């Protein structure tokens, strides 16, 4: 059985930590989570390095590796965290990830002999700034929500919203990794060619239909050799963990450019990831069954297995909020837009990995997949403004009385994610935020 789906002592809901903030109700980072990020103290010239979240603190792994609390493979994994990127740790594979997780769990538990050594290695999350958790060499964006694909397709093809290959193939395109940045990213409204449906020719200008996309980011750990495929039931051994991901979209630029080769300038101007990677192992209690409607085509053999049916899905709640400039100035809270869940995905993470490599494509540590916009079956579960506004035809009323169809300059989009299940400790992903700036003049 895969380490990534095995429940072990690190998931015990009765575990508590000597870091008191980790024991608070609804804390995103209890001892059962232990996600990874790259950080340094804000306003300093310190080197960025790996850290592990516990409550409202961070275990500084550059300091912790020398505390004498790790041994063997766990020590090697801890040492790999003392780097400005986590690619080295990701490349070590599941045995090392699991060993380090277990050692950290034991060291952070109430009553641990390691407390006196590890206390000096803690840094408050309020005092840090983050960097991208790894060097993202390649980024592939998938299209795994059938509800999103259907809603968007219906805007353009009312009688046939889904293209004929959607239910057979995990659709994806190669994105631009250079413009992915960590939470807190600001970016200028993109410009490009725009063409109204009734216009004879396109014009050039700033995007008028700027949108977010609520996604899950999937980080690849151990890679595969060129020419070798990763089997469906081995995919978990190659997935390091998940994060929150906002794949910004310029809908009007996209509408003109996307045929015949798909997204280009409409997508490559900015994408934002949350700083924390929740490991595959931490998510084991929240794996869920994956099903395919009997009336739909069933997956081809390389995308089908009993294990994928039983534990292929992830039960991750996903929320989007919008904070406008007026809200910030008035000190008002952000307005809730939607709540969805990753379990609605039409294709699983394992199917994405298997399909991506079935032709011999080699994945490398730190490569990232986007899940595609995660919308649920109900309209209020939509993961984009394009859907919520029904293609810009309906205004969305915010809590302070403002309205939106698409994003305006100064808007900040906030996404949060968490997992909750009876019998297990709730864990969270933190949040990913980013703000739209005016277009470059």
Q: Domain locations in the chain?
A: 3-131, 139-437
Active site residue ranges: 148
Q: Could you tell me which CATH class the domain 3-131 is placed in?
A: mainly beta
Q: Could you tell me which CATH class the domain 139-437 is placed in?
A: alpha beta
Per-residue three-class SS string for the chain: CCHHHCCCHHHCCCCCECCHHHHCCCCCCCCCCCCEEEEEECCCCCCCEEEEEECCEEEEHHHHCCCCCCCHHHHHHHHHCCCCCCHHHHHCCHHHHHHHHHHHHHHHECCCCCHHHHHHHEEEHHHEEEECCCCCCCEEEECCCHHHHHHHHHHHCCCCCCCCCCCCCCCEEECCHHHEEECCEEEECCEEEECCCCCCCCEEEECCCEECCEEEEEEECCCCCCCCCCCHHHHHHHEEEEEEEECCEEHHHHHHHCCCCCCCCCCCCCEEECCCEEECCCCHHHEECCCCCCCCCCCCHHHCCHHHHHHCEECCEEEEEEECHHHHHHCCCCEEEEEEEHHHCCCCHHHHHHHHHCCCCCCCCCCEEECCCCCCCCHHHCCCHHHHCCCCCCCEECCCCCEECCCCCCCEEEEEEEECCCCCCCEEEEEEEEEEECCCC
Instruction: Look at the pTM and tell me if it is higher than 0.85.
Output: yes
Provide the residue-wise pLDDT of the chain in tens; the chain has 441 residues: 577 889 999 999 999 999 999 999 999 999 999 999 999 999 999 999 999 999 999 999 999 999 999 999 999 999 999 999 999 999 999 999 999 999 999 999 999 999 999 999 999 999 999 999 999 999 999 999 999 999 999 987 888 899 899 999 999 999 999 999 999 999 999 999 999 989 999 999 999 999 999 999 999 999 999 999 999 999 999 999 999 999 999 999 999 998 888 899 999 999 999 999 999 999 999 999 999 999 999 999 999 999 999 999 999 999 999 999 999 999 999 999 999 999 999 999 999 999 999 999 999 999 999 999 999 999 999 999 999 999 999 999 999 999 999 999 999 999 999 999 999 999 999 999 999 999 998
């Amino acid at each position: 059985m895969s380490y990534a789906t095995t429940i072990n002592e690190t998931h015990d809901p009765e575990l508590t930590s000597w870091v008191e903030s980790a024991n608070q109700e609804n804390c995103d980072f209890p001892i059962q989570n232990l996600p990874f990020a790259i950080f340094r103290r804000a306003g300093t010239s310190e080197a960025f390095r790996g850290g592990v979240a516990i409550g409202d603190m961070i275990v500084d792994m550059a300091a912790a590796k020398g505390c004498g609390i790790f041994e063997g493979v766990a020590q090697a994994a801890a040492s790999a965290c003392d780097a400005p990127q986590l690619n080295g740790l990701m490349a070590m594979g599941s045995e090392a990830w699991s060993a380090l997780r277990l050692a950290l769990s034991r060291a952070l538990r109430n009553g641990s002999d390691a407390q006196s050594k590890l206390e000096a290695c803690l840094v408050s999350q309020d005092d840090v700034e983050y960097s991208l958790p790894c060097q993202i060499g390649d980024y592939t964006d998938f299209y795994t929500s059938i509800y999103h694909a259907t809603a968007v397709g219906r805007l353009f093809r009312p009688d046939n919203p889904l293209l004929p290959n959607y239910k057979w193939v995990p659709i994806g395109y190669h994105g631009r990794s250079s413009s992915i940045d960590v939470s807190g990213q600001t970016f200028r409204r993109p410009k490009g060619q725009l063409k109204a449906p009734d216009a004879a020719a396109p014009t050039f200008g700033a995007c008028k239909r700027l949108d977010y996309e609520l996604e899950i980011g999937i980080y690849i750990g151990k890679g595969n050799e060129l020419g070798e495929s990763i089997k469906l039931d081995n995919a978990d051994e190659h997935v390091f963990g998940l994060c929150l991901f906002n794949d910004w979209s310029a809908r009007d630029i996209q509408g003109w450019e996307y045929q015949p080769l798909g997204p280009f300038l409409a997508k490559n101007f900015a994408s934002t990831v949350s700083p924390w990677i929740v490991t595959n192992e931490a998510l084991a209690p929240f794996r869920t069954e994956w099903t395919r409607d009997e009336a739909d085509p069933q997956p081809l053999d390389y995308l089908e297995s009993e294990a994928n049916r039983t534990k292929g899905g992830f039960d991750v709640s996903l929320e989007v909020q919008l904070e406008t400039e007026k809200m910030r100035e008035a000190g008002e809270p952000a307005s809730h837009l939607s709540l969805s869940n990753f379990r609605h995905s039409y294709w699983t993470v394992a199917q994405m990995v298997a399909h991506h490599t079935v032709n011999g494509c080699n994945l490398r540590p730190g490569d990232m997949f986007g899940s595609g916009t995660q919308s649920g079956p109900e309209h209020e579960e939509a993961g984009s403004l394009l859907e919520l506004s029904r293609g810009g035809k309906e205004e969305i009323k915010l809590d302070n009385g403002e309205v939106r169809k698409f994003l305006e300059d100064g808007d900040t989009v906030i996404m949060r994610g968490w997992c909750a299940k009876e019998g297990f400790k709730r864990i969270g992903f933190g949040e990913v935020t980013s703000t739209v700036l005016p277009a470059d003049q």
